[in-house]
């Protein structure tokens, strides 16, 4: 619908002597219309004209399209608000069924996205704290693909450094009855791996290697349990720190590139990145006094590698909120290397609190007492796990209520949305038993305010997908699904779809099928099932 409005505004604006870029928005308050544009204000800035006068001329020109607009009015400093004609709305419903499973999608853009998410340390099973990033990343990938982007999903395995040594030492200590290092790893999984190895003569390095392989497979299995899979698994150790046939590593190459750019300095026996010269708030150590590279050095090399592999595409990182300071310094490093840091986008995911019987569960891996992703998924199911982790914006804190997620009632948001889809299937089955079917032939009979509002909501789905892709905001799809489900349930509870009037029934059945299509496509983006019976 926004595209239709845009074309009408462009035509009217040209007739009024204006032009230029403008926005078409959906007002938050219904009294301001179905759509609104700032076209008169942006045009007035270029021409030096009066925005209110230009808005009035624009409204007059648009009002002539009586087939599309019920009313066009000027508001505020020069906004133009549009109220759509109900018949113009419902007449567009056939487009939904014509597009079917592609309704809401966009053509291929020829632009690629390299999407990195989860990237948990392989030192233990995935605790539930990682689940939010996993779901947000996977759904964002689905949305970007639906919006026409080419997407590669990537898991960066942090398998280098002291943490991996601690893993091996922890397993060996458990196996031999020794003391686990103070900052080592504890918990049943460490003891289980130790028992599987069994041989007390196995050294800490070998214990660490065996544990790493088992835990990485477990991470992959746990993610697959909630429908999350990756195209690439990139090992930090093998990719960043392993020498090539010339005896050089990617980390070496990145360091040399920074040195050539004049972006490093030596101070206190360490090698630093002069990040303040590239817009960051402080400088950062790259090579420590003992000659060991920092994690930041490895991350610069990794992102340099990603830029090279992306062939001019976009890079998206999904990290935990505790990585906040890392965002600015990494962008500064990319600028120092002459790369377009505008191509790099990092989403910071706020923490999720897992609540069971009103109490928060622990999430610490080193303590050994925490709830795993697998435990939650097996308890409430993959659908509830995914949907619950989408119902808040990624930058907002989220409480995951286990008891609510298990409920089979309208209190449970995923049940509520899925039940709306199942209800459309039930209506279709009942209609078939009575010899009735959906038809677009008499859509003009959809005159109820609730029917028109549902039609408006349905036709907004492509804009929701586009906005979600543009803003990297997958929660918008979850919001949309809940709003559509609510509107449909309310309509169904107040009105009979199958009536004695066969023409009206066929139109209402068609509306129901359009609802089913939008719900099915939206749930598909969320990676959630669309059941036909519940």
Per-residue pLDDT, 361? 76
**SS3 (DSSP) at 472:** coil
Give the chain's mean pLDDT: 94
**In angstroms, what is the C-alpha Rg of the chain?**
28
pLDDT in tens, 437-462: 999 999 999 999 999 999 999 999 99
Q: pLDDT tens across 244-293, in order?
A: 888 899 999 999 999 999 999 999 999 999 999 999 999 999 999 999 99
Q: What is the pLDDT of residues 34-91, one digit of tens each?
A: 999 999 998 888 888 899 999 999 899 888 877 899 899 999 999 999 999 999 999 9
Beta bridge partners, 344, equal 315
Segment 317-331 mean pLDDT: 94
Look at residue 228 in the predicted model and tell me its pLDDT: 98
Contact yes or no for 286/293 (Cβ under 8 A) = yes
91 DSSP assignment: T
| Cα–Cα distance measured from residue 311 to residue 378, given in angstroms and rounded to the nearest whole number | 40
Average pLDDT over residues 373-381: 95
* pLDDT for res 468: 97
- The structure tokens listed for 186 are 């504890």
Cβ partners under 8 Å of residue 7, min gap 6:
none
Question: What is the pLDDT confidence band of residue 234, given thresholds at 50, 70 and 90?
Answer: very high
User: Which tens digit of pLDDT belongs to each residue from 515-526?
Assistant: 999 999 999 999
pLDDT in tens, 164-217: 999 999 999 999 999 999 999 988 899 999 999 998 899 999 999 999 999 999
Q: Report whether pLDDT(369) > 60.
A: no
- Please state, as a whole number, how many other Cβ atoms lie within 10 Å of the Cβ of residue 317: 24
> In the block, which residue shows the tokens 């619950």?
388
User: What's the DSSP call for residue 353?
Assistant: E
**How far apart, in whole angstroms, are the C-alpha atoms of residue 394 and residue 472?**
10
pLDDT at 223 over 90: yes
SS3 360: strand
Which residue would you say has higher pLDDT here, 65 or 155?
A: 155
Terminal Cα-to-Cα distance of the chain (whole angstroms): 33
Q: What gap in Å lies between CA 373 and CA 534, rounded to an integer?
A: 26
Cβ–Cβ < 8 Å for 229, 206: no
Measured in degrees and rounded to the nearest 5, phi and psi for residue 248 equal -115, 145
Decide which of 334 and 199 is more confident: 334
Please list, in sequence order, all residues whose beta carbon lies within 8 angstroms of the beta carbon of residue 492, skipping any fewer than 6 positions away: 423, 427
Nearest to 111, CA basis, from 152, 148, 154, 153: 148
Region 21-41: mean pLDDT is 90
Average pLDDT over residues 151-172: 95
Q: What is the pLDDT of residue 364?
A: 53
Give the C-alpha separation, 323 to 183, whole Å: 21
pLDDT at 365 > cutoff 60: no
- For the residues 103-114, what does the mean pLDDT come to? 96
**How would you class 275 by CB atoms within 10 Å of its CB: exposed for 0-12, middle for 13-18, buried for 19 or more?**
buried
pLDDT reported for residue 498: 97
Mean pLDDT of 99-116: 96
**Does this model's pTM top 0.85?**
yes
Give the pLDDT of residue 366.
Answer: 46
DSSP 102: G
């Amino acid at each position: 619908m926004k595209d239709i409005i845009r074309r009408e505004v462009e035509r009217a604006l040209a007739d009024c002597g204006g032009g230029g870029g403008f926005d078409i928005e959906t007002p938050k308050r219904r009294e301001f219309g179905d759509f609104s544009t700032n076209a008169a204000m942006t045009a007035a800035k270029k021409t030096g004209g009066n925005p209110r006068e230009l808005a009035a001329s624009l409204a007059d020109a648009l009002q002539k399209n009586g087939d599309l607009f019920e009313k066009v009015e000027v508001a505020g400093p020069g906004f133009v608000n549009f109220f759509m004609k109900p018949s113009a709305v419902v007449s567009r419903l056939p487009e939904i069924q014509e597009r079917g499973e592609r309704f809401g999608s966009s053509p291929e853009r020829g632009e690629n996205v390299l999407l990195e998410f989860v990237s948990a340390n392989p030192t233990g099973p995935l605790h539930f704290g990682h689940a939010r990033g996993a779901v947000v990343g996977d759904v964002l990938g689905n949305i970007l693909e639906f919006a026409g982007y080419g997407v590669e999903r990537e898991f960066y395995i942090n398998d280098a450094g002291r943490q991996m040594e601690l893993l091996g030492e922890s397993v060996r200590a458990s196996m031999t009855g020794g003391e686990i290092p103070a900052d080592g790893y504890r918990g049943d999984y460490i003891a289980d791996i130790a028992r599987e190895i069994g041989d007390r003569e196995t050294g800490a390095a070998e214990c660490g290697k065996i544990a790493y392989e088992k835990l990485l497979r477990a991470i992959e299995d746990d993610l697959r349990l909630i429908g999350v899979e990756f195209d690439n698994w990139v090992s930090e150790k093998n990719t960043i720190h392993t020498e090539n046939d010339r005896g050089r590593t990617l980390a070496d190459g990145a360091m040399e590139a920074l040195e050539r750019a004049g972006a490093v300095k030596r101070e206190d026996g360490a090698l630093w990145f002069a990040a303040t010269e590239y817009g960051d708030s402080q400088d950062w150590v790259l090579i420590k006094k003992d000659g060991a590279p920092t994690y930041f050095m490895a991350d610069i090399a990794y992102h340099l590698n990603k830029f090279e592999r992306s062939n001019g595409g976009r890079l998206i990182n999904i990290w935990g909120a505790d990585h906040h300071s890392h965002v600015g310094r990494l962008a500064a490093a990319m600028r120092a290397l002459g790369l377009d840091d505008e191509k790099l986008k990092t989403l910071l995911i706020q923490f999720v609190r897992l609540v069971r019987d009103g109490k928060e569960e622990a999430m610490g891996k080193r303590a050994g007492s925490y709830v795993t992703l697998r435990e939650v998924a097996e308890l409430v199911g993959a659908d509830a796990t995914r949907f619950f982790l989408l119902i808040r914006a990624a930058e907002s804190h989220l409480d995951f209520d286990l008891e609510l997620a298990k409920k089979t009632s309208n209190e449970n948001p995923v049940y509520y949305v899925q039940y709306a889809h199942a209800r459309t299937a039930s209506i279709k089955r009942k209609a078939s038993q009575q010899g009735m079917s959906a038809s677009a032939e008499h859509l003009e009979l959809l005159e109820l305010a609730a029917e028109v509002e549902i039609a408006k909501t349905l036709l907004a789905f492509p804009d929701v997908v586009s906005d979600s892709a543009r803003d990297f905001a997958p929660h918008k799809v979850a919001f949309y699904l809940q709003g559509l489900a609510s509107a449909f349930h309310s309509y169904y509870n107040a009105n009979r779809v199958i009536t004695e009037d066969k023409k009206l029934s066929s139109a209402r059945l068609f509306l129901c099928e359009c609802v089913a299509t939008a719900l099915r496509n939206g749930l598909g983006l969320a990676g959630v099932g669309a059941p036909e019976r519940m």
